[in-house]
Structure 1
Amino acid sequence: MGSINRFDLDGIKRRFNISNFIETGTWKGDAIAIALNTSFRNIISIEIVPDLAEKAKARFDQHKEVKIIAGDSETVLSKELPSVSGNCLFWLDAHFPGADEGIKGYDEEENDWLRLPLENELNAIRTCRTVNADVIIIDDLRIYEEGVYEKGNAPMDTLPKSIRNLDFLYLNFNETHHIIKSYKDEGYILVFPKLLISEEELKDFQFYNS
């Protein structure tokens, strides 16, 4: 399991003039806490497991800038994104709902679109946003391809039932964004807008926490 704390959120927020932090897969709300420390104007977190969503709401009920929504990430994104103004940082981490909490096994959810919602999430973002200035960080690259990950390749019971690839990511974002793969932890994908940073500038941009 990766962490958004791997990345310099404050530096990313400033460099890309980001107002909104949008997360899929709330779990205990730790990413929300990190986002609060970065002073985003709005924080939206989506959790498909109702009990986890309610616990997170209780944890952050004093923070008016935080909105936690129970539901599947594709549906909620499609509903919420049209009304979001300003640049967004998306943290997409909604795979294997309930597994880290022990509510379900990693291979127990039969619906692959709920078990691994990334493709549908990206389609919703592309459809509902003028995304040319948004940043996307995706957790668990190793689900989609093998590599030299710090924590090894993915166990067999976590793999997609269909063909493993990221064609859907490149189809949606290759023209407008730089796509970077990181093999830290279980792997990350970082998607930065070409409109706001050139390939040369990106080489010198320090997006990891030191």
Structure 2
Amino acid sequence: MPTLARPALPEQTRNLAKSLMNRYLRDMIVRNWEQDGRPLPPPHQVKQTVIEQYRRRYSCPVLVETGTFRGDMVEAHLKNFDRIISIELSQELYEKASYRFRKSPHVTIYQGDSGAVLPRIMRLLDAPAIFWLDGHYSAGDTAQGSKECPIYEELEAIFAQGKGLRHVLLIDDARCFVGQGDYPTVAALTEFIQAHDPRYQVEVQDDIIRAVVPA
């Protein structure tokens, strides 16, 4: 007796199943990391969760990322933000990310040095954003501009065009900010941020420097 083919699931059902599975895997990875004592650096799924927590807490409709790399952070938050903007220095990685998100009209990928591109982006923002600042060089396939770590240029652009909006600033790889090369210390970075806007409180947790204006 011939086997009857199963009817294909509707696309909406497939997408829901995929989303639920991804969330389950993410939560499992985060739990395992916590049980292991929260070693550094944390897995990417932990960083995704941190961004989502701040989005909910501060109701930010926009995500701005420096350092697109392969686009995994953009992918993780496709359905969480009204608008996603990401900057990638590498021409090759920029082209791959642009192709990856070609069907997502609310995603814009820019190519260039984040410190130079951010001023243009800041002029377009009229709502609070979460800034995921990960544009510093970290070897491997990542690109390096004129500086290993353009964090001062990135922050200068944000505060210069900030329009008084209470942006959330999340800086990845806190363990690298020890005052070597182009990386300032966390203390120097805190002083820089508060000199531009004393409302900001800065803390480090799970390898992420977090600067927010208390709600």
Query: What does residue 133 of structure 2 align with?
Result: 92
* Distance in 2 (alpha carbons) for counterparts of 1:49 and 1:181: 28
Query: What does residue 213 of structure 2 align with?
Result: 193
Query: What does residue 54 of structure 1 align with?
Result: 95
Distance 1:135-1:80 versus aligned 2 partners, 3 A rule: same
Query: What does residue 181 of structure 2 align with?
Result: 160
| Equivalent residues of 2:89, 2:145 under 8 A apart | no
Query: What does residue 140 of structure 1 align with?
Result: 173
Shift of 1:189: 0.4
Shift of 1:46: 0.2
* 2:109 paired with 1:68: yes
Decide which moves more: 128-137 or 87-96.
128-137
Distance 1:93-1:163 versus aligned 2 partners, 3 A rule: closer
Radius of gyration: which is bigger?
Answer: 2
The count of aligned residue pairs is 171
* Distance in 1 (alpha carbons) for counterparts of 2:82 and 2:184: 39
1:125 to 148, 158, 182: 158
* 2:204 paired with 1:181: yes
Q: Which has the higher contact order (CA 8 A, sep 6+)?
A: 1
Query: What does residue 204 of structure 1 align with?
Result: none
| Equivalent residues of 1:22, 1:89 under 8 A apart | yes
Q: Percent identity?
A: 26
Shift of 1:142: 1.5
Q: Which runs of 5+ in 1 are unaligned?
A: 147-158, 197-210
Question: TM-score by structure 2 length?
Answer: 0.71
Distance 1:4-1:77 versus aligned 2 partners, 3 A rule: farther
Shift of 1:57: 0.5
For the residue of structure 1 that corresponds to 2:118, the secondary structure is helix
| Equivalent residues of 1:24, 1:73 under 8 A apart | yes
Q: What is the root-mean-square deviation in Å for CA atoms of aligned residues? A: 2.4
Shift of 1:27: 0.2
| Equivalent residues of 2:114, 2:135 under 8 A apart | yes
Distance 1:163-1:193 versus aligned 2 partners, 3 A rule: closer
Query: What does residue 146 of structure 2 align with?
Result: 111
